[in-house]
Structure 1
């Protein structure tokens, strides 16, 4: 058993959420949130920002920590237990460009209900709900957006 840590972001611009579509060798892998592995010497925040930029080319900033999800999978007959730390992020615009090297073939911003139904993994759906609830609270308190911070 090996433990691994990743970090990612729920990136929002004008109420819409940034998702990535992964397809390896034309096999459906599904829609996901941007995330990736912590590199040596990086903080969780640095990893989340780097991975969002690498995987989506979006310029985003962290608003707040949302929470942690955990899951396990098998790789080469070894169980991997993965923890993912998630951050609510704000993008500067709707720009995104999927990272082809990671087999991302599409990306885009979607309304909450669309994003929720597109996401492949239940743990990412749960994180999306938590992050979007935080976004709505901040927006209703006029604490969302570059001009109000």
Structure 2
């Protein structure tokens, strides 16, 4: 079975309302056809950096324009499709909300079925994938280091 390398980027865009940080996440269908909440992300375009791709993908999938703050972590994993093995690396970044309203109307791939804001400290229970819950934990540690004393 041939092996294919893929690189994606995305992350958490944070908007603070009344002192509470909220994060925009998307709902998409998995291979079984079930809805899963996940962090916005997507493939790099030719000539695009991971940072640029993260900002673009978050805007496309959520309708939110964000400003890059810092890198959070990269997730490296393998999966199989019917005819190939895929080695995927996803670079996750922390972004600060700049403008926009949550919508999936501008998603060119039409992969996102819904998008919504969730409180950062509660979003992990919504996310389908343990690796993405770890990304949220890293963001919480970065934003609130005193909470982990």
TM-score normalised by the chain length of structure 2:
0.83
Runs of 4+ aligned residues of structure 1 deviating over 4 Å after TM superposition are: none
Quick check: which one's helix share is greater?
1
Q: CA deviation at 1:102?
A: 2.6
Q: Where does the alignment leave 5 or more consecutive residues of structure 1 unmatched? A: 138-149
Give 3-state SS (helix, strand or coil) of 1:131's partner: helix
Does residue 51 in structure 1 map to residue 57 in structure 2? yes
Q: Distance in 2 between matches of 1:129 and 1:113?
A: 9
Cα RMSD after superposing both structures? 2.2
Unaligned runs of 5+ in 2: none
Q: What secondary structure is seen at the aligned counterpart in 1 of 2:48?
A: coil
Give 1:8's aligned residue. Answer: 10
Q: Who is 1:68 aligned against? A: 74
Structure 2: distance between partners of 1:70 and 1:26: 22
Partner of 2:44: 38
Report how many residues are paired.
Answer: 138
User: Normalization by structure 1: what TM-score?
Assistant: 0.83
Deviations 1:65-114 (A, max 9, x none): 11101121112321101001110011135721123743322111111343
Whether 1:132 and 2:140 are equivalent positions in the alignment is yes
Check whether the contact 1:49–1:61 (CA below 8 A) recurs between aligned residues. yes
